[in-house]
Structure 1
Amino acid sequence: MSALASVGRRVNWPGIAVIAAVIVIWQIGATVGPLADMSSVPSVTETVKGFGDLWAANELIPPVLYTLGVALLSAAIGIVAGGLIGTLLGLFAPFRLFTQSSFDVLRTIPITAIMPVLLLLLGAEARTEIIAASVASTWPMLVNTADGIRSIHPRLDEVGRMFGFSRLKRVFKLTIPAAMPSLLVGGRLAAVTSLIAVIIAEMIIAPEGIGWALLTAQQALQSGQMWALVVVCGWLGWLFSLGLTALVNRLQPGGVK
């Protein structure tokens, strides 16, 4: 009974209640409400049927696995690249002086504007998707890492000097752990950005994954299947954020084990 009580306390019942209310409103609105005359907005039951049709035709799991694999790889590349560059920007004023303006200009270019260029240069291949999504996911990690490191109080570095830590040891033992909350936010944003970029790239660059399945369902006027895939995209984004949060909580000092 204690285990069940513990699980019950961890469940976000108000959040579940909101989701249930949204589902009920969606179903009523799409059947007898203001959305009933819109053929592009299916009811909840039609969306569930769309799930079943995709599953029966084996058109759900393969696209999800493809998109998930590309997004995870792209997010990992973006997090590592953004973390390294952001750390350099936060630690070294000369590097920040000469490069920050260039990074600020580059990160304002929409990734959708870069995708046709990459498609022309590299072709409709998986590597083109990975490069596009990696670039998109680099920027949130870079910005949050640089800001997190620069916001650390200088006295923390003085503490490391008092203990005789080398510069590298101060970075890994003091600076990065102190900036971990900002790194976590950047990593979560990078992961979700990677997923979004991959889905868009699948519509523009390579006919694979959830993005292509969405486009195919739209062109075939299969609104139930299309909205089912939209729900899957939401689930994947939530799982990305949840998984990364759990990973960082386990790795950072004082995190939940």
Structure 2
Amino acid sequence: MSASVLPLGRSRQPLAWRLPTWPSALVVPLAGLLLWVIAARAGWLTPAILPAPAEVWATLGELWKSGDLQSHALWSMGRVAQGFAIGALAGLALGAAMALSPRVDDYLRPSFLAIAQVPVIGWVPLLMLPLGIGEALKIVIIAKAALVPIAINTHAGIRAVPRGFVEVGTAFRYSRLQLLRHVVLPAAIPPVFTGVRYGLTSCWKALVAVELLASAEGLGFLLVWGRQMFQMDLVVAGILVIATIGLLFDGTLALLERRLQRWRPA
């Protein structure tokens, strides 16, 4: 969107850049915690369905002291790191290739969009045959979860670069590589980073899902183990840890995005 069509008095800074202030960000979690405490004390739900916050906190403390929480979290984050790195590189390369080459776009984009419609869990039964249920399956599923949103947003971001930017670069006699490095990629950073953040979120969700299906370690396995043992405090504790780590991942990428876009007007 050009500056001429922005409403007067509005900030040009995209909404994705804004970090919530702590007081407003804590309102909903604190309200939910208060409701949880009231529900536990009033007996609205039995502990077999939703244990009290104090019980969940005690379980988290026990998991931390025993080292089980750190061990399972490290397993999960290691898988996400590997799968996300593979999927992000492939998604960036594929999205850029489709955006920069009409021929590549004609050949690949229809098939890619068809494959993207299948949820990542839908590939598990097929991939189990050649890959088994080991680490390779988990890494491939996580990589696919990252590849789709990153490739789509990279394609859209490069295609949306204003033609005037390219014309200015051409006037300065930039080569194609210089145009790509100094004009196209910087202008495409906002949608690309949106894809990267969605990709990491998709990776984290896919990881938990695949660990629920086939794993002997990781936070997803912790949820399965708690359900099998009818320890709902363990299940809720695992959910809280998964949510916290996912939020930290997204916040880290948000800070990195702001740093890379310091050149944009406030």
Q: TM-score, normalised by structure 2?
A: 0.87
2:27 to 17, 21, 42: 17
User: 1:52 Cα deviation (Å)?
Assistant: 2.2
User: 1:253 Cα deviation (Å)?
Assistant: 5.2
Equivalent-residue separation in structure 2 for 1:25 and 1:172 (angstroms): 52
User: 1:15 Cα deviation (Å)?
Assistant: 1.4
User: Do the aligned residues in 2 keep the contact of 1:54 with 1:60 (CA within 8 Å)?
Assistant: yes
User: Do the aligned residues in 1 keep the contact of 2:150 with 2:196 (CA within 8 Å)?
Assistant: yes
**Alignment of structure 1 residues 59-208 onto 2, 5 Å:** 59-208=68-217
Note the residue ranges of structure 2 that are not aligned, 5 or more in a row. Answer: 1-19
Equivalent-residue separation in structure 1 for 2:167 and 2:40 (angstroms): 62
Deviation by residue 1:134-187 (Cα, 9 ceiling, x = unmatched)? 011100101111111111111211111111001111011111110110011101
Partner of 2:7: none
User: 1:252 Cα deviation (Å)?
Assistant: 4.4
Partner of 1:28: 38
Equivalent-residue separation in structure 2 for 1:125 and 1:185 (angstroms): 31
- How many residue pairs align between the two structures? 246
2:46 to 37, 44, 47: 37
User: Do the aligned residues in 2 keep the contact of 1:128 with 1:205 (CA within 8 Å)?
Assistant: no
Deviation by residue 1:9-55 (Cα, 9 ceiling, x = unmatched)? x9521212332121111111233163x23622122112112212322
Q: TM-score, normalised by structure 1?
A: 0.90
Percent identity (aligned): 28
Note the residue ranges of structure 1 that are not aligned, 5 or more in a row. Answer: 1-9
Equivalent-residue separation in structure 1 for 2:142 and 2:222 (angstroms): 18
Amino acid paired to 2:62: D
Is the partner of 1:136 in helix, strand or coil?
helix
For the pair 1:51 / 2:65, whether they are aligned, the reply is no
Amino acid paired to 1:15: A
Partner of 2:225: 216
Deviation by residue 1:34-90 (Cα, 9 ceiling, x = unmatched)? 3x2362212211211221232244321100011011112211221111111111111
User: 1:110 Cα deviation (Å)?
Assistant: 1.1
Amino acid paired to 1:25: L
CA RMSD in angstroms comes to 1.8
User: Do the aligned residues in 2 keep the contact of 1:133 with 1:194 (CA within 8 Å)?
Assistant: yes
Is the partner of 1:195 in helix, strand or coil?
helix
User: Do the aligned residues in 1 keep the contact of 2:154 with 2:191 (CA within 8 Å)?
Assistant: yes
